[in-house]
Amino acid sequence: MSGFHNWLLEIAGGNYFLYIKRLSANDTGATGGHQVGLYIPSAIVEKLFPTINHTGVLNPSVLLTAHVSSHDCPDSQARAIYYNNRHFGKTRNEKRITRWGRGSPLQDPENTGALTILAFRIDEQKRDSPSVDIWVCASTNEEDVIEAAIGEIVPGTLIAGQILGGLSLQQAPVNHKYVIPEEWHQRFPSGNEIIRYAAGHYVKNSRDPDEQLIDRRRIEYDIFLLVEELHVLDIIREGFGSVDEFIALANSVSNRRKSRAGKSLELHLEHLFIEHGLRHFATQAVTEGNKKPDFLFPSAQAYHDAEFPSENLRMLAVKTTCKDRWRQILNEANRIPRMHLFTLQEGVSQAQYREMQEEGVRLVVPSSLHKKYPEAVRAELMTLGAFIAELTGLYAELP
């Protein structure tokens, strides 16, 4: 960890633009596609490489040095390019960074799901960034250091900014279309309160729990960010009397984000279970060794009843990302040999998935994310809708 801490201190003290995300299976090539490495949004490429933002010539590009500090691999000459052939009679119009180099951890399928930081050095004359320093987290401990500072980084989202700190990196634009209840101006609402309020803004034309979950998480998070802005923006504008005051506020924001992230997904699932008729479950029930699985079906009483058939027991663990963290669930319910794990991670490698299978873990993944998994394992993934349907049928005769 000391190497990682030293790297972070160096980056935080330098003039860098940070791009942070979790690697998807498309990024690493785990899906078997032909994408040439990590996807970076066009607007960020444009910001970092202004000289390629034109249509004067076909596909203008510039080279930059790509150095990987987290892994032992040679430097490479990456290429920022504007594929602008739509202006030359064809269809492509996108900006990308390619040529990450042979052996780059960015293109290793086993790093699917890993938290990754790209630190682009900013040119003081506002010219193109000359280099990028890369860290692909190799452990949950390294990931925890980052998320402790800036909050949970959910698969499919990105964070970009110039300073590594709780209030420095912009995670998502704040949507101001919601009218916040007046009492929330005086106190920060609980996660359940935000979800109940968000229910009045959900899209009504879907009864698919997979679609509902994705939509509801997005709306609830928009409202959370708006409430957060309401409580901290004025403080930031007023400035700080000391570094300690700034750190205290940054820690407060970070802790609240972590608390929200840890419970939000579970709360949404609980609401959807009830809404779709799955009412036989327990949350945070205690099993062996004071373990507390996220969801136990049909009840804690049934689990501890030796007469209740173990083949009719189910456990669902909930983790936004499952790389490495999936092993944490293996001993949460000894009576249940086959565990279910709900995740929002955008793919796993085939080797990771087979290891999960061997340990009796089956992934439950929203249907819209299935295409982000290797084709060889997609048929074995379970949708949220299928999970709910199976359990409502299994417990249909229970009172």
C-alpha angle 341-343-346 in degrees, rounded to nearest 5 = 135
pLDDT tens digits along 199-210: 999 877 789 999
Are the C-beta atoms of 128 and 78 separated by less than 8 Å?
no
C-alpha torsion angle, residues 374, 375, 380, 381 (rounded to 10): 60
For 191, the token pair is 């996660």
Mode of pairing for the β-strands spanning 339-343 and 314-319: parallel
Query: Exposure pattern of 50-63 as b/e (b: 16+ CB <10 Å)?
Result: eebeeeeeeebbbe
16 noted as active-site residue: no
Q: DSSP assignment, residue 242? A: S
> What are the distances in angstroms from CA 377 to CA 45, 353, 356, 389?
33, 8, 12, 21
pLDDT at residue 34 is higher than 70: no
The predicted model gives 116-123 an average pLDDT of 94
User: What distance separates the 2 farthest-apart alpha carbons in the chain?
Assistant: 76
Q: Which domains does the chain have, with CATH numbers?
A: 2-161 (2.40.330.10), 182-275 (3.40.91.80), 282-394 (3.40.91.80)
Q: What is the pTM of this model?
A: 0.84
Could you tell me the pLDDT band of residue 211, with boundaries at 50, 70 and 90? very high
For residues 197 and 184, give the distance between their C-alpha atoms in angstroms, rounded to a whole number: 11
Q: pLDDT category, 166, cuts 50, 70, 90?
A: very low
The CA distance from 273 to 265, in Å, is 12
384 has pLDDT over 50: yes
**Catalytic annotation, pick one of 303, 353, 373, 395:** 303
Least confident of 22-31, 114-123, 270-279, 323-332: 22-31
